[in-house]
């Protein structure tokens, strides 16, 4: 494969990882079709199959949630002209509470979680999309996830 084509594929896939983070942080769930294939799977604590289920799952995120997904070490390996796989490290900062709805900074005790995304990318008629995203956490601060407590 042409080295320029490989670089273009890598850039497109890196952009998808970043777009996912921005979409989640800014609650821009209308961007889901620009990020995922129709038959995509997303597993960030429970597997969701298909873009409709992913959209439903994302819409359940608390309105009072403020988050920032900081991605580093994004690595994309091109498999062929239509497939790629990748990983990106995640440092997740989040706060749930009414003060998250107000402008300005909220007090934060540090990262809520640290891990990595394992991704599969596929070229579609509309361009590159994520066909599978799985989050593997290495560290988690349970107090940053009050909505998961019984």
CATH at residue 56: 3.10.450.50
Could you tell me the CA-to-CA distances from 19 to 41, 121, 127 in Å, in that order? 17, 14, 14
**What's the confidence (pLDDT) of residue 150?**
55
Residue 83 sits at the vertex; the CA angle it makes with 78 and 89, to the nearest 5 degrees, is 60
- Say if residues 70 and 17 touch (Cβ distance below 8 Å): no
CB 71 within 8 A of CB 88: yes
Residue 5 has pLDDT above 90, yes or no: yes
pTM: predicted TM-score of the whole model, two decimal places: 0.92
**Category of 127 on φ-ψ map: left (φ > 0), alpha (ψ -120 to 50) or beta:** left
The string of pLDDT tens digits covering residues 21-39 is 999 999 999 999 899 999 9
pLDDT band at 147 (very low <50, low <70, confident <90, very high): confident
Higher pLDDT, 69 or 149: 69
* pLDDT per residue as tens digits for the range 101-130: 888 899 888 999 999 999 999 999 999 999
Distances from the Cα of 67 to the Cα of 84, 95, 101, angstroms: 28, 6, 12
**What mean pLDDT comes out for the span 32-48?**
95
CA 20 from centroid of its chain's CA atoms: 4
pLDDT, averaged across the chain: 94
Domain residue limits at 130: 3-148
Q: Which tens digits make up the pLDDT trace of 52-107?
A: 999 999 988 999 999 999 999 999 999 999 999 999 999 999 999 888 888 889 98
E strand spans, the chain:
36-43, 47-49, 65-80, 83-96, 113-124, 127-140
The C-alpha atoms of residue 136 and residue 116 are separated, in whole angstroms, by 5
Q: What is the pLDDT of residue 145?
A: 87
Domain count of the fold of the chain: 1
pLDDT at 149 exceeding the cut of 70: no
């Amino acid at each position: 494969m042409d080295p320029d084509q490989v670089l273009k594929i890598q850039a497109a896939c890196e952009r998808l990882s970043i777009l996912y983070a921005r979409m989640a942080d800014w609650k821009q769930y209308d961007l889901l079709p620009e990020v995922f294939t129709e038959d995509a799977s997303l597993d960030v604590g429970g597997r969701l199959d298909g873009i409709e289920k992913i959209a439903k799952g994302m819409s359940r995120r608390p309105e009072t949630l403020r988050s920032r997904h900081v991605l580093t070490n994004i690595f994309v390996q091109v498999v062929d002209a239509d497939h790629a796989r990748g990983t990106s490290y995640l440092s997740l900062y989040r706060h749930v509470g009414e003060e998250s709805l107000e402008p300005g900074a909220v007090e934060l005790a540090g990262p809520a979680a640290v891990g990595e995304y394992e991704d599969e990318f596929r070229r579609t008629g509309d361009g590159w999309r994520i066909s599978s995203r799985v989050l593997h956490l290495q560290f988690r601060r349970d107090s940053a996830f009050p909505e998961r407590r019984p």
